Chain A
Amino acid sequence: MASIRQNVQPDALPDFRNLGVIARILVGAHALALGAVIFAEAGPAQAIERLARAATLLEPLLIASLVVLAAASPWLARLAYWLGCAAVLGAVLALAALAHALVAQLLGAPALEGLARTLVLAGAASALLLGYFRLRVRAYSPALAEARLQALQARIRPHFLFNSLNAVLSLIRRDPQRAERALEDLADLFRQLIADGRGFVRLADEIALLERYAALEQLRLGERMRVVWELDGAPSDALLPPMVLQPLLENAVYHGVEPATGASEVVVRIERRGDRILARIENAYVGGEPAQRAGNRMALENIRERLKLFFDAEATLESRIEGGRYRVEIGMPYKTGEIRAA
């Protein structure tokens, strides 16, 4: 069990440039303000009036905070977690003091209550929201641990491992060099599978992994499998969560190529469209047994959760059957940068 516990997601500040995060902050701050006035005022009429007054301070402060945090996001991400939290709190408090002074200047002091009160409220709201984001990451990290475990089990699934080893054995006498390459591919694949799944990986590395996996499958399936790679538009520096693409390709082989009696084509298309990365994997739809389809759904659900953990609301995963083809498409933001060691 130790290996599972090690897998808990490290605490990290949210990505303040992510639309999902921004939306959560806006909704959260307003919900807190609403809760506070309802709690403080006797009737609905007073509460609404008080909320309107509070908005003159809350809205400028929120917008200013979001702009500053979004601008400072890469710098904040490099700080240790608690230092980052202190920086966020400091920034919000400073902005609160500034906003308080400005609003007092423009509207006159009577419109506002004391500076101390503003600072306490802003600080408390920020702390609550930071706590919420921390809990959210923790709530998702079991999915990650499970994903790794599941991926391991799925890949150490006898079906793939033993059939691949069997294919390598058949090569050793006829074509020793190809057998060597195949074992190297298998080693690389397994190294990746038992690696830490917490940080981002580079798209170029993930594509290399896809190619190694496809080479192994090609070995045993031969002419029955044809993989069409459409990767010209794939930016190699894009960052993405690990083990998102490989399970999709494996599903395509398992459900689209192996059960087919004739030759079958799998298309892997990855491209950048504006500030988005689109990855599509497509195979022949052969049908299959309910248990297999359930397995496929579970794999997709797992990938969806991991995308959510890394990209919040900015990632999408869709699957559909169209014209006898089964397609899975992932959309995620085009993100570059250093790979942070977890």
Chain B
Amino acid sequence: MNELKVFIADDEAPARQRLKELLSDVAGELPARVVGEAGNGLEAIERLPGSGARVLLLDIQMPGMGGIEVARHLALLPDPPAVVFVTAHDRHAVEAFELNALDFLLKPVRAARLAAALRKAADAGAPSRERLARASPGAREYFSVAERSRIVLVPVREVVYFKAELKYVTLRTRAGEHLMEEPLVALEREFAEQFVRVHRNCLVARAAIRGFERAGGGDEEPHWNVVLDGIAERLPVSRRLWPVVKELVGEPGP
């Protein structure tokens, strides 16, 4: 029988130790091998892609980045792992977070439940991005881009704008740009506090807006452009959105 390759992410060392003990207890019925461990969310994103893990045992409360956000980023991998969430929350909290739609175990974990959850998750495969997004307690702190077989994280505060072009969305920072597959509408909904729509195809970080200047004349229709912090490029504001965007001039973003 093939060994199931498992990755463990939990910020508490004794909790990781406990899961390893339980895995060896159930080895008779479910042969498994731990192929990697991580002590926080960022480590998990860095180490999991090269580990070959098929199932990820993922703690929900971790410093730096919580488990749900970790799973959302890892879902971009070409061959994402199945995920079993582990939490010390009680049932009420689990219901509040809509975790019921996902596979999860309550701490302390029982060996029999662990084996059943691993088997079920391995059969079902990775959770869908929609289900993960629904279970998220709030907006993400990072955007992620799959580059070859690893995940590149971009902190939300570093993003200057998003621009939709055909199939992709371009994410622009002061340092460079990345291509993402998320629809602009979903980004706008999740990050309504940090970003504002200035054009049908463009979201701009409120904090990056330095001002506006008039443009156009000649052949071009006259309009306003957004002047950005740290980037020479100007972005046109659509006539329809100008009244909303204008309001932001007086109040710098949060």
Contacts and interface: CB of A to CB of B under 8 A. Distances in A.
Interface residues of A, number: 22
Given A158-B89, A159-B88, A166-B88, A220 B106 contact: no
Nearest to B86: A166
Interface in B73-95: 88-90, 93
A314 interface: no
Nearest to A259: B63
B106 A166 contact: no
Contacts of B63: 258-261
B12 A163 contact: yes
Contacts of B108: 162, 165-166, 169
Interface stretch (B15-23, B121-129, B212-220, B239-247): B15-23
Contact of A170 (B18, B61, B138): B18
Given A171-B14, A220-B15, A260-B63, A166 B107 contact: yes
B225 interface: no
Contacts of B17: 170, 174
Nearest to A221: B12
Interface in B1-20: 11-15, 17-18
Contacts of B138: 289
B144 interface: no
B13 A166 contact: no
Contacts of A166: 12, 14-15, 18, 88, 107-109
A183 to B, nearest CB: 13
B254 interface: no
Nearest to A164: B88
A219 interface: yes
A266 to B, nearest CB: 15
B87 to A, nearest CB: 9
Interface of B: 11-15, 17-18, 21, 40, 42, 61, 63-64, 88-90, 93, 106-109, 138
9 contacts: A158-B93, A163-B12, A166-B108, A167-B15, A170-B21, A174-B17, A220-B14, A259-B63, A261-B42
